[in-house]
Amino acid sequence: MITAIRDIKQKIKDFRTNSLTIGFVPTMGALHEGHLSLVHQAKKENDRVVVSIFVNPLQFGRNEDFSKYPRTLERDCELLSGVGADVVFQPEPSEMYPPGFCTTVAVERLEEKLCGKSRPGHFRGVAVVVLKLLHLVSPDIAYFGQKDFQQTVVIKRMVSDLCVDVAIKVLPIIRDARGLALSSRNAYLSETEKVDALCLYQSLTKAQSMVKSGVFNARKIIMEMEKIICAGRSASIDYISIVHPETLEDTPEARSGNVVAVAVRIGKTRLIDNIILS
């Protein structure tokens, strides 16, 4: 495991000296099969795989769960060793953000949609840390999960706008047997709340079935989704939106390729999920 910026730079230099391709999987730890699926894909497509574990303070707002966010470093390293990750980069916040650090990265318009409405500044924190990690690791391909769909759109736009020489690959959501999207924050849920949380995926599959049956009016679809989610005893809706996959603008008519995105609080835990209509 590498913790210092100078050491990860040297390791990457060694890889490049030997003409090795690099795949990169940035994470905040508390790893699950969703993260490991990204590592598996990176192993297939690259000579070396670097995984970062960094709970990024810049993307947590006031009264959010930075201090409580699950940290399972020893277990994470065991899992990564088991799937063949070559390097784990686990810097401290003081290493990434030394005294005097004052740079931000704004991906305007995109950062204000969906989760950005209730988490102001979140995506600026995401953009800063991802851009810095991409510069440090200089991967050929960086891998992200579709569950954080807005994050992937923001990162793709940032990489394109700033001419960062990396390919961004987004891989499908990994779900448990009942359909709940895997998330580090699922650890906060009680068993009863995990059952209630199934309403997210149930509402998304309802949207998909309505479109397949010829119902395209976004408002009608959202109303049916609301009924499903509100039936959950501990569920409260942050947002339900049907959006364009690149601009994240709401669309009045749901069509193939649009994204249905939801954010729902189950008890005190905020969960997100989405589906790409087909």
The answer to whether residue 226 scores a pLDDT higher than 90 is yes
CATH topology (fold) of 5-171: Rossmann fold (3.40.50)
Q: Which of 19, 15, 38, 28 is nearest to 136 (CA)?
A: 15
Tell me if residue 135 is catalytic.
no
Strand partners for 273? 262
CATH topology (fold) of 184-276: Pantoate--beta-alanine Ligase; Chain: A,domain 2 (3.30.1300)
The answer to whether residue 90 scores a pLDDT higher than 90 is yes
Decide the pairing of beta strands 48-53 and 22-27. Answer: parallel
How many whole angstroms separate alpha carbon 266 and alpha carbon 271? Answer: 7
State the average pLDDT over residues 214-239.
Answer: 97
Distant-in-sequence, close-in-space partners of 105: CB < 8 Å, separation ≥ 6: 124, 127, 128, 131, 158
Q: DSSP secondary structure string, 229-265? A: HHTSTTEEEEEEEEE-TTT--B-SB--TT-EEEEEEE
Residue-wise pLDDT for 32-88, tens only, equals: 999 999 999 999 999 999 999 999 999 999 889 999 999 999 999 999 999 999 999
- Exposed, middle or buried, 57 (CB in 10 Å: 0-12/13-18/19+)? middle
Strand partners for 253? 217
Which of the following is catalytic: 35, 40, 122, 244? 35
Domain coordinates of the chain in residue numbers? 5-171, 184-276
